[in-house]
């Protein structure tokens, strides 16, 4: 892991002005803008689910090859990695974009709206880039073209990571950033940068040193009772009532058992299923939900308390409960020193200087796996249309990204890579 010197941090923090290399890059960003918009529209119209991004990967790989890069395909199933070698092998900086879409039916009236279908959980579903990953891919493709056009001036190496399955791999499969890391994409990398679009003011940038996005775990609780007639509940053990008590009990973990001064935490039950008709008390009920927090010790404590709460409540009613917890993404935590170094860059590229430090958010991102390997900085790029007073959130069928944010994203990733490499070689 790279250690940042105080002198390097102070140099960047004191100088928000563009460096020599970024001044060369900016005219190239303008030249690639129309291509970025065209790529984004094409990707938006042809979304693909996680680990099935075949067309997207081919488009990306062909583009990177056309730029003369060393290209690796089939990484973590459908991932693509491009390596741009400048006038030195090191330092190495990585830029990442995620490629997958969601099983959502698009409701936005666009000439390039998605009409794509896919298979999810064994069923045919509509598919949409409801989280904006089409923007991420197009932005990184644009940054790749800009940086390839000035490779002889770049004091290091840039790795372009196009990642599948950020939204999660299909059941029974591995994927995403965790698998990409295991397959070696972070080897020799010194720092990594990534962005995510969202319904914030157009061209704004939001960042945070340290804890930024929550960890995300999925839990499933199966409550086994004893089936009986609905008119004679005393003849069995009602898992519906027990499950209701468990749902309420889980909420007391956050409100009454954890130290509220330590870190925000959430337990949400999102699905309950059981029974076949109104007058039969079933033998079994299933529920599943999500756990979000920002601290690993608290995360482990919540897991323990969920198990204890569910099994104890079930036992008190003569039922039994089985708890399964699927460890998801770790906390997305920006390296504090790297963030401090690069804030001047973010302020320079944001529209109308709208680069602000923001609060923690309880959504999650598997960019966190890269940050476990090397210092990383992840930030949000605002893509809301200024005329929209109530922009739809990510994952909504009405999510819309204003394309005027695209060149700002290209400029942000380009400047971050160049500023990092240029200042690192002066260290």
What single-letter DSSP state applies at residue 106? -
Q: Is 329 a catalytic residue?
A: yes
Residue of 160, 155, 159 whose CA lies nearest to 141: 160
8 Å CB contact between 102 and 48: no
Residue of 329, 369, 370, 400 marked catalytic? 329
Q: Which two tokens stand for residue 191?
A: 């720092």
Question: Residue 91, preceding bond cis, omega within 30 degrees?
Answer: yes
Q: Using alpha carbons only, give the angle 236, 238, 241 rounded to the nearest 5 degrees.
A: 160
Distance CA 183, CA 72 (A): 11
Our measurement of the distance from residue 45's CA atom to the centroid of its chain's CA atoms, rounded to an integer in Å, reads: 21
* Residue labelled with tokens 């400047």: 415
**Torsion over CA: 414, 358, 392, 177 (sign):** positive
Q: Give, in degrees to the nearest 5, the angle at Cα 338 between 333 and 342.
A: 115
403 has catalytic annotation: yes
Sign of CA dihedral 83, 88, 90, 95: negative
Q: How far is Cα 376 from Cα 122, in angstroms, rounded to an integer?
A: 36
DSSP state of 257: I
**How far from 27 is each of 95, 320, 407, CA to CA, in Å?**
20, 66, 11
Give the residue among 226, 342, 338, 341 at the shortest CA–CA distance from 285: 226
- Say if CB 422 and CB 21 are below 8 A apart: yes
Rg (C-alpha) for the chain, rounded Å, is 24
Q: Would you state the structure tokens that stand for residue 415, as one six-digit string?
A: 């400047």
**Active site residue ranges:** 329, 403
């Amino acid at each position: 892991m790279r250690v940042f010197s105080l002198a390097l941090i102070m140099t960047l923090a004191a100088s928000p002005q563009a460096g020599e290399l970024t001044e060369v890059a900016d005219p190239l960003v303008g030249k690639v803008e129309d291509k970025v918009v065209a790529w984004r529209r094409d990707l938006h119209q042809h979304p693909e689910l996680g680990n099935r991004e075949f067309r997207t990967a081919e488009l990306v790989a062909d583009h990177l090859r056309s730029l003369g890069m060393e290209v690796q395909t089939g990484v973590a199933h459908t991932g693509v990695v491009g390596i741009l070698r400048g006038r030195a092998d090191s330092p190495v900086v990585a830029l990442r974009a995620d490629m997958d879409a969601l099983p959502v039916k698009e409701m936005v009236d666009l000439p390039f709206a998605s009409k794509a279908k896919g298979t999810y959980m064994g069923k045919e579903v509509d598919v949409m880039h409801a989280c904006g990953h089409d923007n991420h891919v197009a932005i990184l493709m644009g940054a790749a073209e800009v940086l390839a056009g000035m490779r002889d001036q770049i004091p290091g190496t840039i790795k372009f990571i196009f990642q599948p399955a950020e939204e999660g791999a299909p059941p029974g499969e591995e994927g995403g950033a965790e698998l990409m890391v295991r397959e070696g994409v972070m080897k020799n990398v010194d720092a990594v940068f990534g962005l995510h679009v969202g319904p914030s003011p157009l061209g704004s940038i939001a960042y945070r040193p340290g804890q930024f996005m929550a960890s995300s775990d999925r839990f499933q609780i199966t409550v086994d009772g004893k089936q009986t007639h609905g008119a004679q509940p005393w003849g069995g053990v009602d898992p519906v009532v027990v499950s209701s008590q468990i749902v309420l009990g889980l909420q007391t973990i956050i409100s009454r058992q954890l130290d509220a001064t330590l870190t925000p935490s959430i337990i949400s039950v999102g699905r309950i299923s059981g029974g076949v008709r109104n007058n039969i008390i079933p033998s079994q009920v299933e529920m599943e939900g999500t756990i979000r927090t920002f601290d690993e010790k608290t995360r482990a404590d919540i897991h323990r308390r969920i198990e204890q709460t569910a099994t104890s409540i079930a036992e008190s009613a003569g039922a039994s409960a089985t708890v399964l917890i699927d460890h998801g993404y770790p906390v997305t935590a920006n390296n504090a020193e790297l963030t401090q170094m690069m804030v001047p860059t973010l302020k320079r590229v944001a529209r109308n200087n709208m680069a602000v430090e923001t609060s923690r958010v309880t959504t999650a991102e598997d960019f966190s796996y890269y940050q476990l390997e090397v210092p990383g900085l992840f930030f949000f790029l605002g893509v809301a249309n200024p005329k929209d007073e109530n922009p739809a959130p990510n994952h909504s069928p009405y999510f819309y990204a204003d394309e005027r944010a695209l060149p700002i994203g290209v400029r942000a990733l380009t400047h971050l890579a160049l500023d990092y490499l240029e200042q690192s070689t002066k260290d």
